[in-house]
Amino acid sequence: MRRALPLLLLALLAGCGGTPEAGDPDPTGTPSVSPPSTSSSPTAVPPAVESEREDLADLAEKAATEAPSATVAPYPAPVLGGDISWPQCPKGLGIPEKRTLGMPMPLPQARYVVVGLTNGPGFHVNPCLADQVAWVRERRLLVSAYAVASFPQGDELARYGQDGPYDGGSELDALRNVGYQQARFNVASMKQARLRTPFVWVDVEPVPDFPWSSDLVANAAVVEGAARGYVDAGYAIGVYSTPALWEGVVGGLELGVPEWRAAGQTSRAEAESRCGDDWVIQGGPAVLAQWVEADRDQNITCGAAHRDLGVWFHQY
């Protein structure tokens, strides 16, 4: 059985007890829920991989305990928010496979925004990230960040496989280094855009036009490397996915970190139902739940997350 994060981390991060999102591909292009097309059944986990997950758990606990806490007034009830990324940029920007769509920004009632860092797969920045951060700052909203993790494309494995905290002597270590460098790329993008957050959500789902491999252990190595990249940079982390999508991409990988659970083109009621224990993705507590309505990705806090939003968001 794969080791989850220590109970200390869960106690620190679950003072709210909520989780995240998933759904069918939607016209917003933000975190979506489409069934993976290139995954296989879970694979046995080598001892070396188990050891690396234990190291990651220790690092994640350290980042969570050392992260500065922001003072954010508690809310008396679940809080509405939104998430945005490249689909909300003005039309015609971005890489050819992910042209921006000019979709609407969050509703005026939204009190927080989770901003996407990538233009689809890793190593491609959201083309209007700085403008979206400025939009959030002008409205003095709470803000957090998410980033899509993806399998290496083209020469990315050769370029980044030896560059990172792993020795790169095996394919799994090389893939971890690629994930690590995806995280470092996104951290640099956040700093350039002046995006401040104590927390980064790692989005794990099929990426249209940029498929994951059929080797679930290899896919998991990329996600592990990305998680460590954010933790090493001083951020606490969580995951965005659904149970089915997570298992289809990375098998039985358990990080035990907080969850942002998706419900797709449904309703707030359906999203809130996914805050329960029957929708656990990888062993962590529910913090946010997402649904798509009126061409917007909308979110609601789970459990008692509204009581300590400073754990998850920066207040501008």
What type of residue is 307? R
pLDDT in tens, 5-63: 332 233 323 333 333 333 333 333 344 443 333 333 333 444 444 555 555 655 555 55
What confidence tier does 145 reach under pLDDT thresholds 50, 70, 90? very high
Please say if the pLDDT value at position 303 is more than 80. Answer: yes
Query: Which residue has 């509204």 as its token pair?
Result: 306
Six-digit token string for 171: 């394919």
The pLDDT of residue 72: 84
Domains in the chain, start-ordered, CATH in brackets?
Answer: 7-315 (3.20.20.80)
Please state whether the predicted TM-score (pTM) of the whole model is above 0.95: no
Mean pLDDT rounded to a whole number for the chain: 84
As a three-state string, the secondary structure of 238-265 is EEEECHHHHHHHHCCCCCCCCEEEECCC
- Crossing angle for the helix pair 171-192 and 216-232, nearest 10 degrees? 40
* Residue 186 contacts residue 147 (beta carbons within 8 Å): yes
User: Is 149 in a helix, a strand, or coil?
Assistant: coil
- CB proximity list for 256: less than 8 A, separation 6 or greater: 3, 4, 5, 9, 10, 57, 282, 283, 284
Q: Are 205 and 34 in contact (CB under 8 A)?
A: yes
Question: What pLDDT does residue 168 have?
Answer: 87
Q: What digits encode the pLDDT tens for the residues 102-118? A: 999 999 999 999 999 99
Is residue 211 within 8 Å of 248, Cβ to Cβ?
A: no
pLDDT digits (tens, 9 = 90+) for 153-172: 999 999 999 999 999 899 99
β-bridge mates for residue 260, sequence order: 20, 288
